A and B are shown apart, each in its own frame.
Chain A
Amino acid sequence: MNRLARAVTFSALGALPFGLISALAADVHEPRTSPVATSYWIAPGQVGSLPARARYHDGVGDVEVLFGQGPVDLGGNAFFTPLGSNGRACVTCHQPGSGMGLSVEAIRRRWQETQGKDPVFAAIDGSNCPSLPQEQESSHSLLLERGLFRVSLPWPRTSGPDGSPVDPEFTIEVVRDPTGCNTDPHYGLGSPDPHISVYRRPRVVANLKYLAVDAGAQIFGAAGPFNAKRLGMVMDRDPDTGSYSAMNIMSDAREPSLKMQARDASVDHLQVKQPLTDQQLQSIVSFESQVYAAQGSDQWGDDFSLAGAPPSLGARNLQQSPSGVLGDNFGNPAFKSFVSWQEQAPSISKAQASFRASVIRGYDVFFNRPFWIRDVTHINTVGLGNPAKRTCVTCHNLQMVGTDASAGWGDLGTTNEPWADAALSSPTYESQRPDLPLFKVVCKPEARPHPFLGRVIFTHDPGRALISGKCYDVGSIVMGQLRALAARPPYFASGSAEDLRAVVDYYDRRFNIGLSAQERTDLVNFLSVL
């Protein structure tokens, strides 16, 4: 253990290799500390109520969902009401049983139970392309296999969310189009109303007090209205309040507030015929702002809501902790202290004790183990240098949720060549039968190029660049929160990591960390309890 590891006094206890079991969204059960009540899936328009706290099996224990304002009457809540023309509600893609995200297992199960008739499979974005025969399972393969929804964005983009002009610094060429949507005569880039189709995972609608914040007041302080990442960039404003957004809500940061996101989603995903009323939008935002989701227990008997559990675990601690706290320090760490698990009670089983020890070691790796963070736009480019010898918490620095406090988009490589899966450079490219589109991005001569990929970039999803029009943003995605993870695989915006082990393996490959088998298992176990 190095000097830094000793400084936080994590003890290395006996090891028990323990791999994470693939998460399964199953029926909810009665937890010891939370009343319960419903199934893995809530259909829009369903009557009844949800308890203030409920737990749902997720394969490694239970995910816990807490409503801060008490029990929820489904019938009187816009979040659960089918507001558009396709029968969906917000809950369709943000299920309590999936930790307010949506696991691919839940999607598959829903397909089987409804023969693909559930509104979640709506042609507009629940299929690979609306022009495909919707009754065929293969037309929904990206949703069924990766949990990906189609996101259709106008391209070339001409204006930002606030109406300011955008003049894209690059051109986009379709290299590969397995879904057919980017070359579709009605939906594609060459259509009369040109749009680009990219495919992304839904984000978690919980713990939003940590993400949907007034950037100037809570995060940046003296940096005022500017992006703390030294771009000289002014943050987008919430048009209702005039405050500067932290721009951490959506994968591409295209909407600065929950209200604007809800309005955007009602059109793109719910297909409303009339704009939502202010009352409906406020109802949705009010509901979203009091939902907390986290792993509630593990399979070895630890209930994270009981006294003696680590103070970062469980939904109640998320509700009660302050937001906007930087956790990249020893004094107030990102996921606080696990010291209570170091004092092993004699009553716990050997397996439980070993699992706790593994989690503690995983947190130690996450917090303390330096490696070379390299070629990540908006991380290495913000004054750290490239590469930078740092740890996971350098980027996952916002306490309790593990996002990046400062407008957390970056190009980790999950959508860009050469790190994205099915890379053109991969010797097994042809045999991998790549299922995502591939675009060739060419930066204009006057543009500032992508810092580490230059002026020609191959990507599945240009990410933030589709909004900013900036070449240096190609492939940059807003970091997702690290809570309720076990309930909602697969991971990364592209759904490319099927489980937490695949996430850890990706980082190990991407940064050549050299994690041992034990360290990988420990990291997976640590992530599984968040």
Chain B
Amino acid sequence: MGKSSLLMAVAVVATTTLCAAAPPGERRNFIACPVLQDTDTVPCWLAEYRGELYFLGIQTDSGGWSPPWLGHRVLVEGRLAGGPRICGGIPLTSDYAAPGGSSGTSDGQPLPTPPVVSVMRELDGSCNTLLPADPRFHILGRRGPGPNTAASALRRPPSPPAPPIFTPPYKAKIFTLTYEFDSELAARTIGEALNAVQYAQAVQARQITITGHRGSTLLSDGSRAAEIALMAQLRAQELARTLKKLGLPATSTLTVRWDSELEPADGITDPDRRRADIAVTP
């Protein structure tokens, strides 16, 4: 780990502070190295917390959840899913559904919706566990390790939907993008930026204001993991670049600001507060 990497890692640790409260008992919010458990088909992703192994999800296509990366720790935000162990781990789930439904089955039972998983920014060479295929685990993914077998793979992608038509009276609207922990890249919610621009163009907006926020997560041990100090700014600036590239109406003024104060954390809805808002005023 380079000097600057070390500094960043220290910064994250330094902002992980002990809080009085802990999330509800069924919650499992923690930062840990992921573990990759191979199977005869697609591999499973696991993570160990306080001596217990938890099942996060399986390898899927790039449209599904965000599987971990070896070489990095992950922040896991989830709750106990119930049911038998999967790939040796206690299954976790969340209310943040990944697109496309269940990613597969274990012993014939549908896999739960994965917990929220964020890959930490900095490298961690100690996260390097890949366990060989275990014949006890019977995983069938919506997609296997080879080419896609799904019928949908043969279909041409649908055309982008036509821009929505808005009718007066126009109102001020807020479009919100949420992010993975410590990320300024809106991997899943970037469509909201397009919605905001289409609305701004339709209503010939006068004012567009981007506000970046910086979140935190209440961990199961009662401490709080905070995003890096610059994250609110990075989100706002990245989103401003996106909106400009999409094309803002000439009538509008763009204001870019950020709130670097940490958002509160409850251990349940924290992913919602890692966000940036676009306020469009006609």
Contacts and interface: CB of A to CB of B under 8 A. Distances in A.
A388 interface: yes
Nearest to B177: A232
B145 interface: yes
Contact of B147 (A232, A330, A454): A330
A15 interface: no
Contact of B149 (A326, A329, A383, A454): A329
Given A449-B5, A449-B121, A229 B185 contact: no
Contacts of B45: 385
A245 to B, nearest CB: 12
A230 B185 contact: yes
Interface string B224-253: 000010100010001001101110000000
Contacts of B61: 383-384
Interface in B146-168: 146-151, 153-154, 156-161
A13 interface: no
Nearest to A383: B62
A221 B158 contact: yes
Contacts of B245: 162, 164, 234
Interface in A204-239: 216-217, 219-226, 228-234
B154 A222 contact: no
Contacts of B157: 219-223
B42 A386 contact: no
Contacts of A389: 38, 42-43, 59, 145
A331 B154 contact: yes
Contacts of B187: 230-232, 383
Contact of B4 (A7, A391, A445): A445
Contacts of B62: 228-230, 382-384
A55 B15 CA distance: 66
A387 interface: yes
Nearest to B57: A385
Contacts of A391: 145-147
B60 interface: yes
A333 B146 CA distance: 12
B190 interface: yes
B65 interface: yes
A430 interface: no
Interface in B16-45: 36, 38, 42-43, 45
Nearest to B68: A385
Contact of A234 (B7, B122, B160, B242): B242
Contact of A445 (B7, B59, B147, B158): B7
A2 to B, nearest CB: 8
Contacts of A383: 60-67, 187
Contact of B71 (A224, A228, A386): A386
Q: Which one of B148, B191, B246 has the highest number of Cβ atoms from chain A below 10 Å of its Cβ?
A: B148
B14 interface: no
B123 A230 contact: no
Contacts of A219: 157
Interface residues of A, number: 61
Interface stretch (A290-298, A348-356, A367-375): A367-375
A451 interface: yes
B56 to A, nearest CB: 10
A280 B67 CA distance: 49
A206 B124 CA distance: 43
Nearest to A451: B69
A385 B36 CA distance: 10
Contacts of B149: 7, 329-330
B188 A230 contact: yes
Nearest to B190: A232
A370 B145 CA distance: 6
B5 A455 contact: yes
A386 to B, nearest CB: 4
A332 B191 CA distance: 29
A417 B214 CA distance: 34
A388 B190 contact: no
Contacts of A217: 159
Interface in A327-377: 328-333, 367-368, 370, 372, 374-375
A326 B241 CA distance: 30
Contacts of A247: none
Contacts of B185: 230-233, 448
A21 to B, nearest CB: 31
B2 interface: yes
A453 B71 CA distance: 10
B219 interface: no
A329 B154 contact: yes
B123 A225 contact: no
A456 interface: yes
Given A389-B38, A454-B2, A164 B147 contact: no
Interface in B168-221: 183-188, 190-191, 193-194
A4 B149 CA distance: 10
A220 to B, nearest CB: 7
Interface in A449-467: 449, 451-456
B60 A449 contact: no
B8 interface: yes
Contacts of B242: 232-234
Contacts of A381: 69
A9 to B, nearest CB: 14
Given A387-B36, A445-B4, A333 B244 contact: no
* 3 closest Cβ pairs, A-B complex: A221-B157, A385-B67, A386-B69
Given A328-B148, A370-B145, 14 more contacts: A226-B194, A234-B245, A328-B153, A330-B148, A330-B149, A367-B147, A386-B67, A389-B38, A389-B59, A443-B4, A445-B4, A446-B228, A448-B121, A455-B2
Interface of A: 4, 7, 162, 164, 216-217, 219-226, 228-234, 324-326, 328-333, 367-368, 370, 372, 374-375, 380-391, 393, 442-443, 445-446, 448-449, 451-456
Interface of B: 1-2, 4-5, 7-8, 36, 38, 42-43, 45, 59-72, 121-123, 130, 144-151, 153-154, 156-161, 183-188, 190-191, 193-194, 228, 230, 234, 238, 241-242, 244-246
26 contacts: A164-B244, A216-B160, A219-B157, A221-B158, A221-B160, A222-B157, A225-B194, A226-B194, A228-B62, A234-B245, A330-B149, A332-B154, A368-B147, A370-B145, A380-B69, A383-B66, A383-B187, A384-B62, A385-B67, A386-B71, A387-B70, A449-B121, A452-B123, A453-B123, A454-B5, A456-B4
